[in-house]
Amino acid sequence: MVQTLDEGGAVDPWRRRSRRGRRQMPLWQELPLLLVVAFCLAVLIRTFLLQAFFIPSGSMEDTLLVGDRVLVNKVVYDVRDPKRGEVVVFRGTDRWAPQVDEEPDPGFVGKLGRTVGDLVGVSRPGEKDFIKRVIGLPGDRVKCCDAQGRVTVNGTPLDETYVVRDSPLDIPPNPRECRSRRFEEVVVPPGQIFVMGDHRLVSQDARCQGPVPIENVVGRAFTVVWPSSRWNALSVPETFADVRGPAVAAPDAPPPVRPTPEGGVVLLLPLTAALWGSRAFRTVTSSRAT
């Protein structure tokens, strides 16, 4: 055992006492403290930075499967707006019908577990939580279809290789349901986005439920984190790089003057009268001067 000696060679009692005061906390006391700290950190991260979301339906297959968990960046849209092709989580408006069944009353214990899970971001989503892909931005003109059955944005067709099961073309478009692939041109309103699911046959999206306010967007889903066999980044498909921005209308300008015979006569008469008046004035003035 090594002892601390003072200058005279004696053992320093103060240092021995301070060493005793630095003894480690027992595990039964340290473990609850660590759990509380971890829980607080998880709540802070879930509230301000990142949140895990459970996929309850097949509207995004095969990009996302039922049971997948995705990680959502909740701060990215505080510094910029959403971009075409990104997968986003948002709160549906009153027009949007829920795509998950309402669960029966789980009782007090179930509600407590749901609350804790909601705080740390591992519970099932609510009825108004949706996940879709951004197709159109404010001002974009979105419609389907072109001659090859593709969705177009501002006249540019999308090669949507991520769409495995598309809606049929033979069903007539109906603004009240999303079963048809075809829909009339939609001009996305300011401050809103046009979103669609990757599994178009079952997805209830902006085709029949309308665009989504950007302020309702929770964040961008950027990776699949569970199960581990499906770890994958949710990148933006290359086809969206070819989409041009919406055409901006030119400011109002005065109509051009067209040289019609009638217009020529109208323009010529005032000019002739002015010249004649000027000449007459000079004649009268010169006669008075003489």
Residue 105 has what DSSP assignment?
Answer: P
Q: Tokens 């829920």 appear where?
A: 98
pLDDT category at 22 given cuts 50, 70, 90 is low
Cis peptide leading into residue 227 (ω within 30°): yes
Please report the pLDDT score of residue 12 as a whole number: 56
Is there a domain that residue 223 lies in?
yes
Is there a domain that residue 187 lies in?
yes
How many domains does the chain contain in total? 1
CA distance 40 to 201: 42
Structure tokens at 29: 């006391």
Is there a domain that residue 179 lies in?
yes
Is there a domain that residue 114 lies in?
yes
For residue 102, the domain's CATH number is 2.10.109.10
| Residues with catalytic function | 59, 132
| Mean pLDDT across the chain | 77
Please report the pLDDT score of residue 197 as a whole number: 96
- The more confident residue out of 86 and 278 is 86
Is there a domain that residue 286 lies in?
no
Say whether pLDDT at 34 is over 50: yes
Is there a domain that residue 8 lies in?
no
CA distance 209 to 95: 6
Query: pLDDT per residue over 155-207, tens digit each?
Result: 999 999 999 889 888 888 887 888 899 999 999 999 999 999 999 999 999 99
Is there a domain that residue 12 lies in?
no
Domain hosting residue 158, numbered range: 52-242
Task: Tally helices (H) and strands (E) across the chain.
Answer: 6, 12
pTM of the full structure:
0.68
Is there a domain that residue 89 lies in?
yes
pLDDT category at 81 given cuts 50, 70, 90 is very high
Query: pLDDT per residue over 99-119, tens digit each?
Result: 555 555 555 555 555 555 555
